[in-house]
Amino acid sequence: MRRGSRHLNSDDVMALKYTKKVMDHFLHPRNMGELKDADVEATDGSPACGDMMTIGLKIDPKTHKILDVKFKSYGCASNIATASVITEMVKGRTLEEAKKIKWNAAAEELDGLPPVKMHCSVLAAKTLMDAIRKYEKMHGLLEGGEEELSAENIRLELRNIINPEMGIDIVRLKMVKGISVKKGVVKIRISMGNTDRVYEDSIREEIEEHVKAMRGVKRVEVGFST
């Protein structure tokens, strides 16, 4: 786990006031376990907390439908609940349909999550997307090959960074004021607006970890203003 974070105990879980659906999926997770004959598997970690999870997929090679999906989580209640619900949502769908299901749709399906726990649903959705992309790469299904490194694609990636104070991503909150890319060096300007400056470091770290993982990135510089 990252500095300053810790796993929740049962008192913490109750104190977070989870919805009935979250508690149901947390206590009775669907599709949890190992998919022995998985065609592809992806493991991902959350930059926000350092927790990890794995998702395995069984895919029909002709229709590209997800025949089966299972997850293993070393994350918290929110992560287990989101992984449970998002795996239910994608089972039986084609890869193209599954790619349209984002972390916020899964959180909505759970009737919401506490703002500070939204990054846990990002982890579940991102691990699923990584498994899909890995399968697409293995089978030459990526149209036009790898995505180019562009301000537009970086902005899309920044939609996975949650402002922990509001539980909304920094793009939707209009906190991203500028993105430039030159020879692999990415510069991003963030306005904290009314957000407590106490979250500045964690937002910076998350941006750096997400963007550095993008293909072609050599360096990331994040600047903040009020």
Which of 18, 135 has the CB closer to ligand FES?
A: 18
DSSP for 118-185, please give it: HHHHHHHHHHHHHHHHHHHHHTT--TTSSPP--HHHHHHHHTT-EETTTTEETTTTT-EEEEEEETTE
Range in contact with ligand FES (rule: CB under 6 A) among 56-64, 70-78, 137-145, 207-215: 70-78
99, 225, 121: which is closest to 167 by C-alpha?
121
The phi, psi pair for 177, rounded to 5°, reads -100, -15
Does residue 123 touch ligand FES according to CB under 6 A?
yes
Which of 71, 135 has the CB closer to ligand FES?
A: 71
Please tell me which residue in 40, 48, 49, 123 is annotated as part of the active site. 49
Does residue 82 touch ligand FES according to CB under 6 A?
no
Which of 80, 181 has the CB closer to ligand FES?
A: 80
Selected binder of ligand FES within 22, 35, 38, 49 (CB under 6 A): 49
Does residue 169 touch ligand FES according to CB under 6 A?
no
Per the annotation, the verdict on 76 as an active-site residue is no
Selected binder of ligand FES within 51, 109, 206, 208 (CB under 6 A): 51
Range in contact with ligand FES (rule: CB under 6 A) among 63-71, 72-80, 170-178, 183-191: 72-80
Does residue 121 touch ligand FES according to CB under 6 A?
no
**Strand 185-191, strand 219-225: pairing:** parallel
- Tell me the site size for ligand FES, rule CB under 6 A: 10
The phi, psi pair for 211, rounded to 5°, reads -75, -35
Nearest-approach distance from CB 167 to ligand FES, in angstroms:
13
Q: CB neighbours of 158 closer than 8 A, spacing ≥ 6?
A: 169, 170, 171, 176, 179, 188, 207, 210, 211
Q: How far apart are the first and last CA of the chain?
A: 29
Q: Is 81 exposed, middle or buried (0-12, 13-18, 19+ CB in 10 A)?
A: buried
Q: Are 165 and 196 in contact (CB under 8 A)?
A: yes
Please tell me which residue in 83, 85, 120, 211 is annotated as part of the active site. 120
Per the annotation, the verdict on 49 as an active-site residue is yes
Does residue 120 touch ligand FES according to CB under 6 A?
yes
Nearest-approach distance from CB 121 to ligand FES, in angstroms:
9
Selected binder of ligand FES within 41, 42, 56, 78 (CB under 6 A): 78
Distance CA 127, CA 42 (A): 6
Query: So which residues are the catalytic ones?
Result: 49, 120
